[in-house]
Amino acid sequence: MTAVLRQAQGPAHTRIYAYGAARGENVVPNDDLVGPIDSSDEWIRQRTGIITRVRAAADTTAIELATAAAAEAVERSGVPASDIGAVIVATVTNPKQTPSVSAIVADRIGANPAAAYDVNAACAGFAYGVAQADALVRAGVVRHAVVVGAEKLSDIVDPTDRSISFLLGDGAGAVVIGPSDTPGIGPTVWGSDGSKSDAVGMNHTLVDFREGRAPWPTLRQEGPTVFRWAVWEMVKVARQALEAAGVEASDLAAFVPHQANMRIIDEFAKQLGLPDTVVIGRDIATTGNTSAASIPLATHRLLEEHPEVSGGLALQIGFGAGLVYGAQVIVLP
């Protein structure tokens, strides 16, 4: 007689229970950065909408930021840490490469022996993590999961680089995802275009640095290329996410794109035809671009400043290095 395998099956629906956040300790105004790039506060504000950004102290790593954000999300969710079955951390700034940030975070928040792994999808990393946590819960693999976007980008900044250095900040945002009686996370639209990977990414490898062939690797980008791709191609992805979720732009309570550039955010809203009733995440003005952390950080702040959107629909979309992207519609807790 042939044995029949048993497969796990979970709840039909999931939702986000709560958000947590941690920002770098130091507020860095534009005037502190303009010298090495021969620029001005006015130029940075006009080009990016950034007034200040937050950066972490020298002894604060992405691990500490991720732990603080995850701990807050778990506490606010009401889910015991011992009931967390998976911890997923989206980051490109793990200071150790290995072990994963997620394994350390799981231990520090009391979630042992949760499954734990990192996701390297740059600024789309949080959307990727939400997609995976949603699938893990609905498949019955875990009951609750923590997803964190965490970055200390100040570790990989060249202060003389005019293309990206003044954009970047440090922080972490986290959510707890678990079962729901009604749909709370829409289908994810995601993908990549590695053929344009040179448009934004690291300028050298760690091996080149070790062998003395190159200085410490830092982030670089081709600004115009990234801007055009983000505005024109990512708007298509955002529309696909709305369609996949079965909703219209007018149904949204909030729109939270990756906090790459205020001009991109404004053009996004224009291209999507968002009504004035939609609250738009604009955390970049005072936090800067925090890559994988930007969407949960912006949502955390948006919920604090606009509690009336709680329970409403939000469209979130991430896009970044490697030209990787991901978007989904969620119900705000």
- Which tens digits make up the pLDDT trace of 248-282? 999 999 999 999 999 999 999 999 999 999 999 99
Distances (CA, A) of 3 to 6, 8, 9: 9, 16, 19
Mean pLDDT of 170-183: 98
**Catalytic, out of 123, 144, 261, 300:** 123
- 0.85 cut: is pTM over it? yes
pLDDT band at 321 (very low <50, low <70, confident <90, very high): confident
Residue 217 DSSP code: -
Sequence length of the chain is 333
* Angle 226-37-92 from CA coordinates, rounded to 5°: 50
Looking at the chain, the whole-number percentage of residues with pLDDT higher than 70 is: 100
Q: What pLDDT is recorded for position 219?
A: 86
With 0-12 / 13-18 / 19 or more C-beta atoms within 10 angstroms meaning exposed / middle / buried, residue 251 is middle
Q: What is the mean pLDDT of residues 186-199?
A: 90
Q: What's the confidence (pLDDT) of residue 297?
A: 98
Say how far apart CA 289 and CA 260 lie, in whole Å.
5
Q: Answer whether residue 1 shows pLDDT above 70.
A: no
Res 197: pLDDT: 80
pLDDT at 52: 97
Q: pLDDT at position 307, please?
A: 98
The Cα–Cα gap between 227 and 138 comes to: 36
Q: Is the pLDDT of residue 287 over 90?
A: yes
pLDDT at 2: 87
Yes or no: say if 187 and 209 are a contact pair by the CB < 8 Å rule: no
Kindly report, residue by residue over 29-80, the tens digit of the pLDDT: 999 999 999 999 999 999 999 999 999 999 999 999 999 999 999 999 999 9
Of 30, 94, 261, 289, the catalytic one is 289
Tens digits of per-residue pLDDT, 106-145? 999 999 999 999 999 999 999 999 999 999 999 999 999 9
Please report the pLDDT score of residue 246 as a whole number: 98
Q: What is the pLDDT of residue 173?
A: 98
Give the whole-angstrom CA distance, residue 231 versus residue 25: 31
User: According to the model, what pLDDT value does residue 143 have?
Assistant: 98
Catalytic residue of the set 30, 258, 261, 300: 258
Q: Are 203 and 236 in contact (CB under 8 A)?
A: no
Please choose, from the candidates 190, 153, 196, 223, the residue with its C-alpha nearest in 3D space to the C-alpha of residue 316: 190
Residue 181: burial class (beta carbons within 10 Å; 0-12, 13-18, 19+): exposed
**β partners of residue 151:** 171
In angstroms, the CA 254 to CA 202 distance is 32
What are the tens digits of pLDDT across the range 195-234?
888 888 888 989 999 999 999 988 888 888 888 888 888 9
Q: Count Cβ neighbours within 10 Å for each residue of 96-107 and write b for 16 or more, e otherwise.
A: eeeebbbbbbbe
SS3 31: helix
Give the separation between CA 326 and CA 320, rounded to whole angstroms: 10
Query: What is the full DSSP assignment across 68-117?
Result: HHHHHHHHHHT--GGG--EEEEE-S--TTSSS-HHHHHHHHTT-TT-EEE
Instruction: For residue 289, indicate whether it is catalytic.
Output: yes
* Backbone angles phi and psi of 216, in degrees to 5: -55, 130
Q: Does residue 144 carry a catalytic annotation?
A: no
Q: How far apart are CA 139 and CA 177, in angstroms?
A: 13
The sign of the torsion formed by the CA atoms of 170, 257, 202, 224 equals: negative
Known catalytic membership, residue 26: no
Nearest by Cα to 19 from 283, 318, 293: 293
Q: What is the mean pLDDT of residues 270-296?
A: 97
121's CB contacts (< 8 A; 6+ apart) are 90, 127, 128, 292, 318, 320, 322, 324, 326
Mean pLDDT along residues 7-27 = 97
